[in-house]
């Protein structure tokens, strides 16, 4: 019986194309992008339920004090939002972000004014909402730059979607700087008025809110004329805040 010879086709193995430098860079940047998103989303999900133990600002302030040979000043006591006076919640809205309950994280009118101010060569201003300030304080470094503003916007969108207004207010009031080495409403209330945050009067709440633009420079008690004017303005605006329906 005749046997057919198997015919084999000889194919040359494909030679691997050498990976170019830019291909490696693109692959690396893609991995960084994926990991950044995964980590950032995981942190936002975590802090929806878990108190924020410390912020980048708290760390940087402590390092500054250490390098300057100063005594470490750090007071921070986390309390739930229901243990923070409604007066303080209204005061920071009146002072910092009147449209907090209406916007989706950004006050575009204020941002437009800030942009026009920058075009005139004035110092960079952000027109930041409470949501943006919270995103910056919890996840980012301090400073004024458009790069940081980009990441601030990214985290603002995330916390608005995942946390909601009530949690944003809770984290904000527990994390922001309210004095030299004083962070959060509970520590600030004890530092400035020797009482718990849930017992703050309208005037005391306005006093704390009035120093937020520069809490290491201004004082909530024994204040300058400038701070007293901010207190009175905050008190007037607080009357129109209304019920806080988070």
> How high is the pLDDT of residue 23?
83
Percent of the chain scoring above 90 in pLDDT: 70
Domain spans of the chain?
26-238
Q: Is 177 helix (H, G, I), strand (E, B) or coil?
A: strand
pLDDT-wise least confident of 18-32, 153-167, 176-190: 18-32
pLDDT tens-place string over residues 10-65: 555 555 555 788 888 889 888 999 999 999 999 999 999 999 999 999 999 999 99
> How high is the pLDDT of residue 186?
98
CB count within 10 Å of CB 125 equals 15
Give the predicted TM-score (pTM) of the model.
Answer: 0.86
Q: Which residue has the higher pLDDT, 146 or 9?
A: 146
How far from 20 is each of 30, 35, 145, 228, CA to CA, in Å? 16, 23, 33, 63
Q: Please list the alpha-helical segments (H only) found in 97-224.
A: 108-119, 130-139, 146-162, 165-175, 185-193, 202-210
> How high is the pLDDT of residue 241?
94
The phi-psi region of residue 223 (left if phi > 0; otherwise alpha if psi is between -120 and 50; otherwise beta) is: beta
Provide the mean pLDDT of the chain: 89
Measured distance CA(16)–CA(64) in Å, rounded: 53
Provide the pLDDT confidence category of residue 109 given band limits of 50, 70 and 90.
confident
The strand pairing partners of 179, in sequence order, are 182
Provide the pLDDT confidence category of residue 114 given band limits of 50, 70 and 90.
low
Q: Is 60 helix (H, G, I), strand (E, B) or coil?
A: helix
Measured on CA atoms in the order 135, 154, 131, 121, is the torsion positive or negative? Answer: positive
Q: How many CA atoms lie less than 13 Å away from 2 in the CB half-sphere?
A: 2
**Mean pLDDT value across residues 135-159:** 92
**Mean pLDDT value across residues 187-197:** 97
The strand pairing partners of 25, in sequence order, are none
Query: Is there a contact between 38 and 32 (Cβ–Cβ < 8 Å)?
Result: no
> How high is the pLDDT of residue 108?
83
CB count within 10 Å of CB 15 equals 6
pLDDT tens-place string over residues 164-177: 999 999 999 999 99
Angle 46-107-177 from CA coordinates, rounded to 5°: 55
> How high is the pLDDT of residue 21?
82
User: Which CATH code of 3.30.390.10, 1.10.3810.10, 3.50.50.60, 2.60.40.1180 fits the domain covering 26-238?
Assistant: 1.10.3810.10
116, pLDDT greater than 80: no
pLDDT tens-place string over residues 205-239: 999 999 998 999 999 999 899 999 999 999 999 99
* Start-to-end Cα distance in the chain: 90
């Amino acid at each position: 019986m005749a046997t057919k010879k198997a015919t084999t086709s000889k194919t040359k193995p494909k030679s691997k194309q050498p990976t170019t430098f830019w291909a490696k860079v693109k692959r690396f940047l893609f991995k960084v992008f994926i990991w950044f998103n995964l980590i950032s989303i995981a942190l936002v999900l975590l802090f929806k339920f878990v108190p924020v133990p410390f912020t980048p600002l708290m760390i940087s302030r402590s390092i500054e004090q250490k390098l300057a040979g100063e005594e470490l000043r750090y007071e921070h006591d986390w309390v739930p939002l229901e243990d923070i006076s409604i007066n303080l919640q209204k005061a920071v809205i009146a002072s910092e972000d009147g449209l907090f309950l209406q916007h989706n994280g950004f006050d575009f009118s204020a941002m437009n004014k800030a942009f026009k101010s920058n075009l005139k060569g004035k110092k960079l201003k952000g027109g930041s909402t409470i949501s943006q300030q919270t995103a910056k304080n919890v996840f980012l470094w301090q400073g004024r730059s458009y790069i940081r503003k980009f990441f601030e916007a990214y985290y603002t969108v995330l916390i608005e979607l995942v946390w909601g207004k009530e949690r944003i207010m809770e984290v904000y009031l527990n994390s922001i700087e309210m004095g030299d080495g004083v962070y959060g409403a509970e520590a600030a209330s004890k530092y400035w008025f020797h009482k718990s945050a849930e017992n703050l009067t309208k005037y005391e709440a306005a006093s704390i809110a009035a120093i937020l633009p520069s809490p290491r420079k201004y004082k909530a008690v024994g204040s300058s004329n400038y701070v007293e004017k901010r207190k009175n303005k905050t008190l007037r605006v607080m009357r129109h805040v209304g019920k806080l329906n988070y």
